[in-house]
Amino acid sequence: MSTGTVRFLIGAAIFLALAYGLTRLVSNEYVFFALYVVLQFIVLATAWNILGGYAGYVNFGSGAFFAVGAYTGVALYKALATPILLQVVAGAFVSGLLGLAVGALSLRLRGIFFSIATVAVAIVLETVVVNTPYLGGAKGLPILRPEPPALFHSYLEWTFFLMAMLAVLAVFCARYVETSWIGRGLRAIRDNEGAAECSGVPTLKLKLFAATLSGALMGAAGAPFALYLSFIEPTSVFNLNYAVSALAMPIIGGMSHWIGPVIGAVLLGTVQQLVTVTISSELNVLVVGVLLVLFVVGAPDGILGLVRKLRRPKAASAAGAAA
Amino acid sequence: MDIELLYEAILAGILLGCFYAAVSLGLSIAFGLLDVPHIAHPAFLVLGAFATYVLVGHGLDPILGGVLLMPLFFVLGLGVYQFYYVTFERRGTDQGLRGLAFFFGIAFIVEVLLILRFGVDQRMVEAPYIGQSLELGDTRVPWRMIVAFGVALVLMLGLTIFLSRTFIGRAIKAVAQDEGALRLMGADPVRIKRLAFGLAVAITALTGALLIVVGPVDPGLGRIYIGRTFCVVVLGGLGSVPGTIVAGLILGVVESIVLSTAGAAWAPAVAFGILLLVLAVRPAGLFGR
């Protein structure tokens, strides 16, 4: 293991310890309710970035992957009362399969056509769920939470900690992809797919891998959703807000490095929570849209790009002084 | 299924299909001819519908309102294209991903602003032809569909003549075929594209008026129309007006048949289903360039 990886793992362990400590110290349930959402966005943004940021395939259907994870969890829970960890694994698996199918579409579709196809997948799946009475249809389905595990006071604290673990896992996967040959291949696909193919990059395999991993992580993020809210309905899980946020957060944070989506998710997720509480939930959605457009136009490389720009003049002048 | 019912479904589908072709015209120009990833088209359509709603509140006829909105939307289109050109096309840096995200963000902002202003409820307009039906033997055809059908036909005929007979129209077709050659002829392709995009958005204003004539409109309706408009434009083969009409008719008839057999809850999936099928099997569409 490189020193970077060791440092990353130590940081992740400290983060999880802090998250667990929080469940011991804080008794206000709302804190976990809000932090869960921010963590969930870290997973979604990181997962989106694996396909969108590294490989350049824009997914507008993140809500579909999230929802497939959530409804897989609900179906399992309703049928067999499975433990939540198993639901996460199953949600990730089914959503990963969907990712594989969407990745196969990229065989023929690039650019806007791929993006429109992901919107299509989302709407078709939403229609299927609305027409499936077992999953609650359009009315939705109330879910009774089980008893929390012995280490936690309430079930909400447990789902919060679970989401913290998923966030660490997602960032770990993204970091691994980014620093390995897979990331180099994906970046080659983004910059020029034809040239990459000619240079011997296994483009199809890499695209399928990225789409599957991205889908699986989004599904894992969705799986605990029903137990977190103790209710599930199609319009809330297929919400366009997930699709926009999952795309806006990496773009705002910066897509070139794994920390970008995390920065974007923490920043935007927190702002959203604050605006929802203090002003209105419609306005928080507006904030995401406006920030997305502002960043795409004004700072195409996101916050990371801005930071680099601030540093570069110094580095350049230092180099000039040395010469 | 009953033959009588099938006949009615097909008749309704033809009227609906012409309407679908009309609402897709703006996208057909912007995306099909100009290659601008105009995902915000359905949002502009809904914006046009709500602007018409406001005008009807002041006592105007919805179709007349839509026509009056056209110059305003034309200017909006010029502005949007100019902005898109300066920030993305001219820089040329990774415009694929960011251009998409830009229009997606615009669509989202329009939707939320409409929700903030009008709420999430459905809105409809009053006109003499809304609510009345024409009786043809046993079948009843609502007048609002006939009006939408008529306006759609006039619009499509006008656009076809404009694109093939006038100087500007031919220039728009030329810019779609070969931008470099147009530049060599001494014309400014950016100016032509700006005009064409303005025209696309202006048409969207009038078809937005049709949208609220045909049925009630809510701010979230744009999402369903992403599927319908892109389905029509892709199936029709990107930027061909006859292709757009044929594709609109196919979508209208299929949707109408599904509506009367499987039920209304499945209707939103029809356009997206056809779209996925076309993208997977023949991305060039029926009348591909």
Task: For A113-127, give the DSSP string.
Answer: HHHHHHHHHHHHHHH
Instruction: Report domain extents, chain A.
Output: 3-239
Which residues of chain B neighbour A111 with C-beta distances below 8 Å?
A: 37, 96, 100
CB nearest to A282's CB, from B87, B116, B226: B116
**Residue A214 in contact with residue A46, Cβ under 8 Å?**
no
The reply to whether residue A111 touches residue B93, judged by beta carbons under 8 angstroms, is: no
Q: Which of A123-127, A208-212, A236-240, B74-78 has the lowest mean pLDDT?
A: A236-240
Q: Which of B24, B82, B89, B104 to mutate: most A Cβ within 10 Å? A: B104
pLDDT tens per residue, range B180-226: 887 888 778 888 889 999 999 999 999 999 898 888 888 888 888 88
d(CA B241, CA B158): 11
The reply to whether residue B39 touches residue A112, judged by beta carbons under 8 angstroms, is: yes
3-state SS, residue B217 = strand
B116 in contact with A at a CB cutoff of 8 Å?
A: yes
3-state SS, residue B39 = coil
- What is chain A's Cα-based Rg? 20
Nearest CA in chain A to B37: A112
B85 in contact with A at a CB cutoff of 8 Å?
A: no
Q: CB count, 10 Å around CB of B135?
A: 8
d(CA A90, CA A284): 32
B20 in contact with A at a CB cutoff of 8 Å?
A: no
Nearest CA in chain B to A125: B269
pLDDT tens per residue, range B49-71: 999 999 888 888 888 888 889 99
User: Token match 């990107």: residue?
Assistant: B238
Instruction: Report domain extents, chain B.
Output: 24-219
pLDDT tens per residue, range A57-86: 888 889 899 999 999 988 888 888 888 888
Instruction: Return the pLDDT at A78.
Output: 83
State the burial class of residue B208 (Cβ atoms within 10 Å of its Cβ: 0-12, 13-18, 19+).
buried
Report strand pairing: A231-232 vs A141-142.
antiparallel
Residue closest to A77 by CA, chosen among A236, A228, A190, A186: A228
| pLDDT at residue B44 is higher than 80 | yes
For residue A67, what are its two tokens? 């929802």
d(CA A238, CA A135): 14
pLDDT tens per residue, range B124-168: 877 777 777 777 777 777 888 888 888 888 998 998 899 888 888
Helices A84-105/A62-80 angle, 10° precision: 140
d(CA A181, CA B159): 52
The reply to whether residue B272 touches residue A112, judged by beta carbons under 8 angstroms, is: no
Which residues of chain B neighbour A282 with C-beta distances below 8 Å?
A: 112, 115-116
Instruction: Provide ipTM, 2 decimals.
Output: 0.82
Distances (CA, A) of A175 to A181, A253, B59, B64, B151: 12, 15, 60, 57, 55
Residues 6+ away with beta carbon under 8 Å from A117: A102, A105, A109, B275, B276, B279
pLDDT tens per residue, range B215-252: 888 888 888 888 888 888 888 887 778 888 888 999 99
User: Token match 């694996």: residue?
Assistant: A50
**Residue A168 in contact with residue A11, Cβ under 8 Å?**
no
